[in-house]
Amino acid sequence: MGKTILLGHGSGGKLTGDLIKNTFLKHFDNPVLRELTDSATIRIKDKLIAFTTDSYVVDPIFFPGGDIGKLAICGTVNDLAVSGAEPLFISTAFIIEEGFPAEELEKIIRSMKDEAREAGVIIVTGDTKVVSKGQCDRIFINTSGIGYLDRKYESISTGRNIKRGDKIIINGNIGDHGIAVMGARENLKFETEILSDCASLNHLIKAVLNSGAEVKFMRDITRGGLATVVSEIVDNSKYGISIDEKTLPVRESVRGMCEIFGYDPLFIANEGKVLLIVSEESSQKALKAMSRHEHGKDAVIIGEITSDNPGKAVLHSIIGGSRIIDKLTGEMLPRIC
């Protein structure tokens, strides 16, 4: 870490990883934190519990397809769900700038309520702080979440059962959230409106788990994008990942925006996308279960686990070349979630 904190330290990419390893993990080190999973798996008496936290600072707070309130519920629900847990309870903590319109607060709270109902979680505790004008930008929301983790899904969050030939599935188009938020921030007009994919994925994930498909790992693809997720999966692994670019689902309008602004959709944030690693034999079963679900209609296999290129994620491009996919460096779109 340099002498000061940079925007990139909050990008979810390489600098965030460095900050976590060199500062947080250095001091807070313990076996649970060391796993660096989306949710911590903790044990209370004989029960396994998933526990996660996220602060939301998205700008603007209202964007096509969602708002900071909906995002704060979905994001935390998804962090629990990808660990194999059933999301149950949510805490909400608000930091509000003095003078924030009460009407907007109520709109945000209504979104949270609706999304909590949709996801089937209960908001059980909360906190409110108000700071003077100029001391925060409108409103920041933290949600933490608790879920019940069935012992049979305990290995999912660590991915320790991954092996060569396992298939990599995602549940639909990448890049929608990032481009929708950027568009709203910059007041861009799109020919076809791009909506954030912001959604709670716990019901979709439950459907896959219940289908009997052998799910070995899941992660929601948020800050840092698909590139950062796949690169993290193979960090220090004896396996590699191979991604087939032509299978990657990207909306035409998102691809167009990325070309104009020089972004790579692989690094754009999503808020309703999950990457699953599933055994080869059960991959069709997983796809079938997903395709029946609203948030999984466009589910597709995008690659597989390889024994070539251990520790690396490799993208095989449409034109026949291949390149290594690395984590996001720097910060492309600050305050995306």
Report 43-82 residues binding a copy of itself (CB under 8 A).
44-45, 47, 49, 51-57
| Nearest CB to a copy of itself, comparing residues 54 and 166 | 54
Cβ count within 10 A of residue 49: 17
Taking alpha carbons only, the member of 31, 222, 29, 44 closest to residue 149 is: 44
Decide whether 135 or 307 has the Cβ nearer to a copy of itself.
Answer: 135
Among the listed residues 21, 60, 99, 252, the single contact to a copy of itself using CB under 8 A: 99
User: If you search the block for the tokens 């490799």, which residue do you land on?
Assistant: 314
CA 213 to chain centre: 22
Q: How many residues does the chain have?
A: 337
User: What's the chain's Rg over C-alpha atoms?
Assistant: 19
Closer residue to a copy of itself, CB minimum distance, 80 or 243: 80
Q: Which lies closer to a copy of itself via its Cβ, residue 80 or residue 204?
A: 80
Kindly identify the residues of this chain, within the stretch 241-260, that bind a copy of itself according to CB under 8 A.
none
Between strands 240-244 and 313-316, the pairing is parallel
Nearer to a copy of itself, 63 or 239 (CB): 63
Which tokens is 205 given?
A: 């994930």
Decide whether 100 or 190 has the Cβ nearer to a copy of itself. Answer: 100
Contact with a copy of itself (CB under 8 A): which of 27, 152, 189, 246? 27
Ramachandran angles phi, psi of 105, nearest 5°: -60, -45
**Number of other residues whose CB lies within 10 A of the CB of residue 64:** 18
Choices 86-94, 165-173, 294-302, 311-319 (CB under 8 A): range interacting with a copy of itself: 86-94
From the list 93-101, 195-203, 270-278, 308-316, the region that binds a copy of itself by CB under 8 A is 93-101
Dmax (CA) of the chain: 57
**106 binding a copy of itself? (CB under 8 A):** yes
Residue closer to a copy of itself, measured from CB, 9 or 251: 9
* Distance from the Cα of residue 139 to its chain's centroid: 21
Asked if residue 7 binds a copy of itself (CB under 8 A), the reply is yes
Query: How many residues lie near a copy of itself (CB under 8 A)?
Result: 80
Q: Are 281 and 164 in contact (CB under 8 A)?
A: no
Q: Hunting for tokens 């995306």 — which residue is that?
A: 336
304-333 residues in contact with a copy of itself (CB under 8 A) are: 331
- Cα–Cα nearest to 179, from 247, 260, 73: 260
Q: Of 16-24, 175-183, 196-204, 234-242, which segment contacts a copy of itself by CB under 8 A?
A: 16-24
Which of 39-47, 152-160, 285-293, 296-304 is the region at the interface with a copy of itself (rule: CB under 8 A)? 39-47
Among 14, 78, 94, 290, binds a copy of itself (CB under 8 A): 94
Site string for a copy of itself, 140-169 (x = CB under 8 A): x-x-x-x-x---------------------
Which C-beta is closer to a copy of itself: that of 149 or that of 207? 149
List, in sequence order, every residue forming a beta bridge with 47; answer none if it has no partner: 44
Question: Could you tell me the smallest distance in angstroms from the CB atom of residue 328 to a copy of itself?
Answer: 13
Site residues (CB under 8 A) for a copy of itself, limited to 110-129: 110, 112-113, 116, 122-129
Contact (Cβ atoms closer than 8 angstroms) between residue 295 and residue 119: no
Q: Is 195 in the site for a copy of itself (CB under 8 A)?
A: no
Q: Which is nearer to a copy of itself, 22 or 317 (CB)?
A: 22
Q: Left if phi > 0, otherwise alpha if psi is -120 to 50, otherwise beta: which for 173?
A: beta
Q: How many CA atoms lie within 13 A of 307 on its CB side?
A: 3
Nearest by Cα to 206 from 293, 300, 304, 302: 293
First and final C-alpha spacing in the chain: 23
